[in-house]
Each structure stands twice: as C-alpha cells, then as structure tokens.
Structure 1
Amino acid sequence: METPPAIRARGVTKCFGEVIALDGIDLDVAQGQIHGLVGPNGAGKTTLLGLLLGLAVADEGRLEVLGAPLDGTPGGVAGFVDGPGLYPSLTARKNLAALATLHGRDARTAGIDEVLAEVGLTDVADDRVRGFSLGMRQRLGLAAALLTNPRLLVLDEPSNGLDPAGKKHVHGVLTKLAADGTTVVLSSHRMDDIEALCAEATILATGRVVFSGPLSKLSAENRELDYRLRTSAPGEARRLALDAPGIHIVDDVGTQDVLVVRAHVPALDELVTRLVRAEVAVRELAPTVSPLEAAFLALTEQQESTR
C-alpha cells in the first residue's frame, strides 16, 4: 500500500477580511523529508504553517495531515510560528515541565533532560529564559516541540539568532529527525539553510504556489547566472572567456585574479575545459547568487508582475 504524504493540500484558501492569504494552493509533502517553505513577506508562509499547527482553519479546500483530514488541533504535529511561546520567568527545564504537564505527562519521565541535551542547552537548563538570547530561545522552542515526539515538525525560521555553531547543531538535529522518519516543514528566508537541509521546497508568492518540487529542478542549467571565476592566470582566463561561446564577462570585481562571467551551465563547463587545457588553475568558481535564490527571485517577481 502506498504511504500517504505527510501533508496533502488541495485548493486550500484562507482569507483575513478582504486579504487573500492563501489562494487555492495545492501541495504534497512526503513523509520523512525536510521540506522548505520560502517566499517574500506576505506570501502566505506563516498562514500555511498556522493551518498545519491547527492555529487556524482553511476557508476552502481540503488539507490532510499524516493521512487524515485536518480538523481542529492535529495529533502528532508540533512546532512554532513567529517564535516559540515561552515563559520568561521560568527556567528552561521548568518551561518544558509545564509543557509536559499540559500534555498530561509526568514531567519526571517526560524526557526533559534528553531533549535539552539534544538541542545543546544542558548547561543552561536551570537558567531563566528571560536572559536567553534569540538563538537560545529558538533552541528551547525546538526542544519543546521534540518533547511530544512529533511525526510532523513545523518550524518558522528555526535558525533565527543562531551563531554558526548553533546553526550546525540544529541542522544536525533536524537531519537526524528526518532520517528517523519525522517530516520537517521549515520556513526560512535563508536560502543557505534551505539548500543545506532540504531535498524539496515550495515557493509561495502572493498566496499561490509558484514552484514545488526537488531543488534539482531549480538548477541553473536552463538559466544564466553570474559566477565568480578566480584563476592562476587572470589574463589568459579573460582571453579564453572572451573567445568561449555563451560566456559574457560581466565585470572585474576589483581584484586582479577574479572575473565575473555570466553563462548557462553547459557553456561554463566548456570554459572550464578550455582553462584546464591551457593549464590555467581554477581556484574558485561559484555563483554570485545561489541557483535557489536566483529561481526564487525570478519566480516571485514574475508572479508579482502578473497580479
């Protein structure tokens, strides 16, 4: 029997007065994957996350979560929207104990120490939350969600306020959860987070889905991008770039060994081949804007222009 998706939306619409937050969206998210949700401000991301968490109900359409129609507060779902709700006067440990009690569990056996360790907050478990940084609050919110052993984890900007070490730690937690079968839906304005964590993503613009699927479909193979090209012989690299079909030199970026070239991927591959044959070492070749960000900008700007 085919495993149902963790999320299935068909024609889901949500309005707030005259504002259409979600406009007939269709969406499928497979179980056990990390699925990214991106879009400009006002695209409908927070509204969709709120529906998944049972904080609101759709006006039209059908929304299924974990194989069942979503009706009221969904079981097996945890997370937060617009930051975790925490008691600032309580310690991290007591916040989680209060949450366990709300769920009818004995705080002594709820696994509080385990989830605090999992998100890296053991050392501050008995500190009051009012003194926590934004990143520490985000981690505590993740710990609160993990306390319920969710099958679907919904997170809004989970990397907010995290330093590089904290972000790496949270990424590791989310990756392990997905490997163990938990579905994670995360909204983020950070394209590097989406690219590092997600196999698939959905792009929203003006309440509509403008793309949903594997990130590989957003590759730059059919789209020109600007690339930084740093070599051991910039003069020869410039000469070869000028002669290479499909390559356009955009600019020198102010250093002697770097060019910015615009090209499709096949043309860029041919340029690299020519550089290697000419014994010019390629020390750096990277898009100035990631393929996901380029696709995001193109798709959302196109959607805005059609309204």
Structure 2
Amino acid sequence: MDTPPAVRARGITKYFGEVVALDGVDLDVAPGQLHGLVGPNGAGKTTLLGLLLGLAVADKGNLEILGTPVGRALAVPDGVAGFVDGPGLYPSMTARQNLSALAALRGDGAQQIDEYLEQVGLTDVADDRVRGFSLGMRQRLGLAAALLTKPRLLILDEPSNGLDPAGKKHVYGVLTKLAADGTAVILSSHRMDDVEALCSEVTILATGRVAFTGPISKLASEDSELDYRVLTSNPVVARRVARETAGVRLQETDNPQDDAELLIISAPVPALDEFVKALVRQDVAVRELAPVVSPLEAAFLTLTEQAALTEQQETD
C-alpha cells in the first residue's frame, strides 16, 4: 500500500474579515521531505502553518494531513508537531521540567528526555530555568519538545532564529535525521541559506498565493542571469577575459581599477562556464566564484515582485 502524502492541500483559502490571507493554495509534501516555505511578510506563511497545525480551519479548499481529511480546528491526526511564532514554554521551569511536563501530559516519552536534550545541544543547561534562555536556546528546546511526540509531520516557524553556529549544527543534524527516518518537515524561514542547505523542495508564497512550488534546482534556470563574485590569481587577465567572453558583463565595483582583486560579473550559466574555461586556458586560478545573491533568493525576489505587481494590476 502506498504511503499517503504528509500534506495534500488543494485550493486552500482563508479570510480574516475582508482580508484574503490565503488564496487557492495547493501544497504537496511527501514523507521524508524537507520542504521550505518562504515569502515576504504578509504572504500568508503563518496562516498556512496554523492550518497545518490545526490551530485554524480553511474557509475553502481541501486539506489532508497524514492521509486524514481535516475540516475543523484541532482535528489534525496524531503525529503532527511543531510551533508557530516560537515554542510555548514555561519560563519558571527548567528545560528538563518543561519536557517532563509535556511527557506527563502525553503519557509517553519521559525516558527519552535526556536523549532529546542532547540532540539539540542543551544537556549542559538541562536544569537551568527557561526564563534565562536566549532566543536560540528556546528554539532548540521547542524542537526537543516536538521530538517527544515522535512526529511524522513537523512544522517549524523560523527555527534558526537566534542560533549560533553550534546551535545551528545541532538543529540541522536533528532535522536531517528526522527526514532520513521518514518524517516530513515543513520549514518556514526568512533565511534563504537555511532553506537551501536543508530543503529539497520549496514553496514561495506571495500575496497569499503560490508563486512557485517544486525542487529548488528548478529555480536556477540556466538561461537566467545572476551576479557572481570572482576572485582570481590574476585580476588584470581575468578582467580582460570577462570583457572578451560572450554573454558575460563586467560590473563596476567600488574599486573599478583593472588590478582590483574582486570582480563582479553578470552571466547565465553557459556563459559563466565559458568564462571559467577561458581563465584556465590563460593559466589563471579561480580562488572564489560565488553568486552575489543565491539562486533561491534571486528567484524569490523576482517572483514576489511579479506577484505584487499582478495583484496591484488586478485591484486597479
């Protein structure tokens, strides 16, 4: 028997008075998938996450979670966990006491509290009161609380807020392992680097509508032109090669002299490949080559600007 999708949404629409928060949203998330949810402020991300957690119900459309139709609030099936706008914690209790209270409510999981605290990197502060925790520590404790429920669908809203590099490493590790074990994870974030590092697919919301959904790799079209930072062993030759390579445009920087070490070029992928080949033929080493703006961020900006323009034209 085929495993049902973790999320299947069709035509989801949600109103708040006269405001259309979600407008015909479709969403598919498979088990074991890390799915990014991005969009500008007011795009409808928090509303959608609330529907998936059962905190509200759609006014129109059909929503299935873990194979179960959901038509009313607080009716999501067992196996769904997560948080919106930060985890709900008891500040006067310690991290361990917070998890113990949750385990007692569920009647399960108490024996794994230390394991989950270790997974999120909070073992050393397990007996400290949460009121003294930083934002990043609270986010990690919220993740540990979600793990207690052994979720099959995990919903996270800005889980990397306030995380230092060590904290981010713990969170990345936990989420990657969950997905490998078959848990679907929906990750809403304003940080494109988090989404690109973790997620195989992404949904971009703009003005309550889906501007794009699918594999992140599809956003980086070979025909689209991106800006790249280029650092080479011979900037003079590299600058000349850039001027001579078809499809490559050399951008002016704050230090536009021919011997300036850093070059900024604009090029589609095929022209970029030819530029690199030409540098190699000229015996010029490429020490750094990276997009100024990631393909996901570039697509995000383009799609959301287009959506905003379309909405404005529809209302005029």
| TM-score scaled by length of structure 2 | 0.94
Name the residue aligned to 1:260: 264
Name structure 1 gaps, 5 residues minimum: none
Name the residue aligned to 2:155: 154
Name the residue aligned to 2:36: 36
Q: Amino acid of the residue matched to residue 15 of structure 1?
A: Y
Q: Amino acid of the residue matched to residue 238 of structure 1?
A: R
**Equivalent residue for 2:87, pick from 84, 87, 91:** 84
**Quick one: distance in 2 between partners of 1:122 and 1:233?**
50
Given that 2:38 and 2:205 are in contact with CA atoms closer than 8 Å, whether structure 1 keeps it comes out as yes
* 1:1-307 alignment runs, 5 A limit: 1-71=1-71, 72-74=74-76, 75-103=78-106, 105=107, 108-109=110-111, 111-254=112-255, 256-307=260-311
Given that 1:253 and 1:260 are in contact with CA atoms closer than 8 Å, whether structure 2 keeps it comes out as no
Q: Amino acid of the residue matched to residue 283 of structure 2?
A: E
**In the TM superposition, what is the alpha-carbon distance from 1:217 to its structure 2 partner?**
0.1
**In the TM superposition, what is the alpha-carbon distance from 1:4 to its structure 2 partner?**
2.1
SS state at 1:222 partner: coil
**Quick one: distance in 2 between partners of 1:158 and 1:287?**
25
**In the TM superposition, what is the alpha-carbon distance from 1:243 to its structure 2 partner?**
1.0
Q: Amino acid of the residue matched to residue 12 of structure 1?
A: I
Given that 2:122 and 2:141 are in contact with CA atoms closer than 8 Å, whether structure 1 keeps it comes out as yes
**Quick one: distance in 2 between partners of 1:35 and 1:106?**
28
SS state at 1:98 partner: helix
SS state at 2:222 partner: helix
**Quick one: distance in 1 between partners of 2:3 and 2:218?**
24
Given that 2:109 and 2:149 are in contact with CA atoms closer than 8 Å, whether structure 1 keeps it comes out as no
**Quick one: distance in 1 between partners of 2:196 and 2:166?**
18
Identity %: 73
SS state at 1:160 partner: coil
**In the TM superposition, what is the alpha-carbon distance from 1:220 to its structure 2 partner?**
4.2
SS state at 1:186 partner: strand
Q: Which aligned segments of 4 or more residues in structure 1 are displaced greater than 6 angstroms?
A: none
SS state at 2:252 partner: strand
SS state at 1:213 partner: strand
Given that 1:39 and 1:203 are in contact with CA atoms closer than 8 Å, whether structure 2 keeps it comes out as yes
Q: 1:124 to 1:175 in 2, by over 3 A?
A: same
**In the TM superposition, what is the alpha-carbon distance from 1:73 to its structure 2 partner?**
3.2
RMSD over aligned Cα, in angstroms?
Answer: 1.2
| TM-score scaled by length of structure 1 | 0.97
**In the TM superposition, what is the alpha-carbon distance from 1:253 to its structure 2 partner?**
4.6
**In the TM superposition, what is the alpha-carbon distance from 1:2 to its structure 2 partner?**
3.4
Q: 1:266 to 1:5 in 2, by over 3 A?
A: same
Q: Amino acid of the residue matched to residue 56 of structure 1?
A: A
Number of aligned residue pairs: give it. 305
Name structure 2 gaps, 5 residues minimum: 312-316
